[in-house]
Every structure is written in structure tokens, then in C-alpha cells.
């Protein structure tokens, strides 16, 4: 009973922290995502160490719930109309950014003398983004227009492209090391992507059928939340990407349901408490010591990834003949990087322990930098392109 009491007090305190953070966000230029991460860091092990030992057990569950919700809501933006207007741009810019970022990181780190195996793995990881942070900044700022629509679409696609890039890099490194398991790595990663597409479609079709027949209010909220949880649980059980599966499910629902907006409104009404817990706990687990351990490799990785994002977005925008002024801002808006990159680093640690000991501190250190600074730059980009009718959001937004 004592442990349950501590858990409830912790969760309640963190949610109240989210309320205070939202109020502070109205008075500062910092997005609430950055504020939550900073607060989490202050009360976490690297700061004042105020969180109880039970919180690591909750983090995986809460982060999965939050990211599945984000994936579902991002999928809901992929309507036929938006795909018709922005689909080509999203695919072109996202693919270009992944290729250019991976190439620049690989080339730059090689010139810095980093071992080729480490270079290839970091190049694959560099393409991953932070869908939760980016989507929340767009939502908080109330951004609407071609730029924000394209940004959300790229976030939806970027981690899928990044997973493919990392898979190829991991297979190449294992092949270079004479590991005969590289083929199984490729097959496993193909299943992670293809299985997510199948699962999202399989759940999205019946959900789309139900959504037009369940009345709005509590029944619809139960249906939407139940399907989102079911998608996340089945994805973990089948070992496929739960973010991608949820995104596909959302895309199927938004294009097939008779009242396609209802389930998304139901999730939007309850997602913020989970996101508060996710961002605070993510900040709590940021390890400042990783900045020192990673050293010059971390500095090179951060600079090269930022350069790759900027040049990749500019080149992708040029191919789509976008406004030249917006091409640079798109790259700046895509700098946040978090959980997906850490997941890739952990996979590298599991498959290649020796290399993983070098890679993990770099990725953790980069996460500290990109998650604190990235959302600020994302909101700056949205303001500069003129798509933010309001500066900050509210708890009810």
C-alpha cells in the first residue's frame, strides 16, 4: 500500500507540474515541452533526485501510451485532401532529409577519425526525430498552413525512413564484422515496418466502421482509447513499430470513417495528462554525465546532424519548388530527437555491445541537447513562416 501511495502522489504531483508549466509557458518564449523536460531533469537523478525509485517502472508504460496516442493523432492528419496537396512534398522532403543527414553525419564523422562501424550506426540514428515533441509544439502554437501540415507529415514519415536507414547501417556493420546474422536483422526490421502497416490497417478498418455508429461522448471516448491501447499492446506483442502502427490506424480511420473527426477529438481530450508524465519522466532520465563521456564525438554528431537536417530540408524543398525562405526553417523545425533514437542506440548496444558502449553516450548526450533546444527552434520556425495565430497554448487546447 505504501508503494501505491507513493505512485499516486508522484503522478498527481507531476500532473500539477504540467498545469504550472502551461501557465509559465504563456509568460516565456519556451515551449511547454522544453519546460517539462527541464523540470523533469531538475527533479530527476541528475538534479535534485526527488523522484522515487518506482518511476522507471512507469516510464516505459507511460511513454508507450503517449507515443501511441501521438501516432494515432498524426495519422489522423493524413487525409486524402492533405495527401493530395502535401503528399508529394512530404515524401520528397522526408526522404531527402534522411539521405542527406545520414550522408553528412557519416562523411563528417569519418573525417573526424571516428571508426567506420560507429560512424555508420550514428548516421542511421541521426535520421530519427521526436514526433511527440514536434507535434505538441505545432498543437500548442495553433499553427495552421502548408508549412505546419508538411512538418506534421514529415514527422509521420521520418521515423519510418529512419528505421529503414538504421536497419541498413546495422546490417552493413554486422556484415563487415563477419556476423552471419545480418540477414536476420534485415528480415526482423522489415517485419517491424511491414507488420506495423498490416496491424494498423487491420485495426483501422473495423474502427472506421464503428466510429460512424457510436454516439459522441463517453462511448466514443471508450472506443477510441480502447483501440489505441489495443494497437499499442498488439504492436509490442508482435514486435512491430507501435508508433507506425498507430499512425496507419489513424490514417485508415480518417479516410474511411463516416464521422472521422470524432475519435481524434476523443483522444485529444485525454492525451495531455499522459504527455505531461511522458515529457517530465523523459527529462528525469536525461543523464548530464553523458555529455562528458561522449566528448568530441558528441559535438561532431550534433553539429553534423543539424547541418544534415538544414541541407536536407533545403534540397527537398528545392526539388518541390517550395518558398526558398521556408526551406531553411523546415530543417530547423525538424531538429528534436528523442525516444526513437534512444531505442536504436539500445538495439545497437544489444547486437554489438562493444560499439554500443561508444554509441549510447553520444545518443543520450545528443538527446539532452536536441530535446531542450529543438522544440524552441521548432516554435521559432513556425512563427517565422507566419503560421502561428497564437504564441502559446492552453491546457484545454
Supply 3's cell numbers. Answer: 508503494
| Contact by Cβ (8 Å): 131, 70 | yes
Supply 224's cell numbers. Answer: 477510441
| Contact by Cβ (8 Å): 220, 260 | no
- The pTM for the full model equals 0.68
Confidence of residue 199 (pLDDT cuts 50, 70, 90): very high
In this prediction, residues 122-132 reach a mean pLDDT of 82
Among 241, 254, 255, 208, CA closest to 227: 208
pLDDT digits (tens, 9 = 90+) for 79-121: 777 666 666 778 888 888 889 999 999 999 999 888 888 898 8
In this prediction, residues 44-71 reach a mean pLDDT of 74
Between 288 and 142, the more confident residue is 142
Domains belonging to the chain, first-starting first, are 2-52+59-384 (1.20.1530.20)
CA distance 280 to 324: 36
In this prediction, residues 205-226 reach a mean pLDDT of 72
Supply 62's cell numbers. Answer: 507511460
Average pLDDT, the chain: 77
| Contact by Cβ (8 Å): 384, 329 | yes
pLDDT digits (tens, 9 = 90+) for 353-386: 777 667 877 887 787 788 778 888 888 888 888 7
Which pLDDT belongs to residue 177?
65
CA distance 391 to 372: 18
Torsion of CA 273, 392, 332, 155, to 10 degrees: 40
Which pLDDT belongs to residue 277?
78
Supply 305's cell numbers. Answer: 546532424
| Contact by Cβ (8 Å): 91, 78 | no
**Does the structure show a pLDDT above 60 at 396?**
no
Amino acid at each position: 500500500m505504501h508503494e501505491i501511495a507513493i505512485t499516486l502522489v508522484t503522478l498527481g504531483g507531476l500532473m500539477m507540474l504540467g498545469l504550472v508549466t502551461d501557465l509559465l509557458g504563456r509568460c516565456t518564449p519556451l515551449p511547454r515541452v522544453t519546460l517539462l523536460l527541464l523540470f523533469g531533469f531538475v527533479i530527476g537523478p541528475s538534479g535534485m533526485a526527488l523522484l522515487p525509485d518506482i518511476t522507471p517502472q512507469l516510464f516505459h508504460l507511460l511513454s508507450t501510451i503517449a507515443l501511441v496516442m501521438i501516432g494515432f493523432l498524426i495519422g489522423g492528419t493524413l487525409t486524402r485532401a492533405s495527401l493530395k496537396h502535401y503528399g508529394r512534398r512530404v515524401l520528397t522532403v522526408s526522404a531527402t532529409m534522411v539521405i542527406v543527414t545520414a550522408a553528412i553525419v557519416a562523411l563528417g564523422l569519418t573525417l573526424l577519425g571516428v571508426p567506420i562501424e560507429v560512424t555508420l550506426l550514428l548516421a542511421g540514428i541521426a535520421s530519427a526525430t521526436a514526433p511527440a515533441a514536434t507535434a505538441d509544439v505545432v498543437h500548442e502554437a495553433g499553427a495552421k498552413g502548408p508549412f505546419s501540415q508538411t512538418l506534421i507529415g514529415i514527422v509521420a514519415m521520418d521515423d519510418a525512413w529512419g528505421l529503414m536507414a538504421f536497419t541498413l547501417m546495422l546490417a552493413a556493420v554486422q556484415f563487415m564484422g563477419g556476423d552471419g546474422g545480418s540477414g536476420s536483422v534485415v528480415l526482423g526490421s522489415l517485419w517491424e515496418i511491414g507488420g506495423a502497416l498490416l496491424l494498423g490497417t487491420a485495426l483501422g478498418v473495423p474502427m472506421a466502421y464503428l466510429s460512424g455508429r457510436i454516439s459522441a461522448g463517453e462511448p466514443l471516448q471508450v472506443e477510441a482509447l480502447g483501440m489505441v491501447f489495443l494497437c499499442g499492446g498488439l504492436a509490442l506483442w508482435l514486435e512491430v513499430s507501435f508508433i507506425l502502427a498507430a499512425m496507419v490506424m489513424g490514417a485508415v480511420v480518417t479516410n474511411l470513417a463516416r464521422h472521422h473527426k470524432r475519435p481524434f477529438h476523443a483522444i485529444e481530450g485525454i492525451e495531455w495528462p499522459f504527455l505531461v508524465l511522458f515529457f517530465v519522466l523523459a527529462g528525469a532520465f536525461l543523464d548530464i554525465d553523458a555529455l562528458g563521456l561522449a566528448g568530441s564525438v558528441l559535438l561532431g554528431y550534433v553539429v553534423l546532424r543539424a547541418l544534415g537536417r538544414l541541407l536536407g530540408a533545403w534540397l527537398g524543398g528545392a526539388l518541390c519548388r517550395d518558398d526558398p525562405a521556408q526551406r531553411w526553417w523546415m530543417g530547423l523545425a525538424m531538429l528534436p530527437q528523442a525516444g526513437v533514437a534512444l531505442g536504436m542506440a539500445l538495439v545497437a548496444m544489444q547486437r554489438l555491445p562493444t560499439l554500443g558502449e561508444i554509441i549510447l553516450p553520444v545518443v543520450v548526450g545528443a538527446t539532452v541537447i536536441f530535446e531542450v533546444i529543438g522544440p524552441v527552434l521548432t516554435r521559432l520556425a513556425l512563427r517565422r513562416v507566419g503560421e502561428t495565430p497564437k504564441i502559446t497554448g492552453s491546457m484545454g487546447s
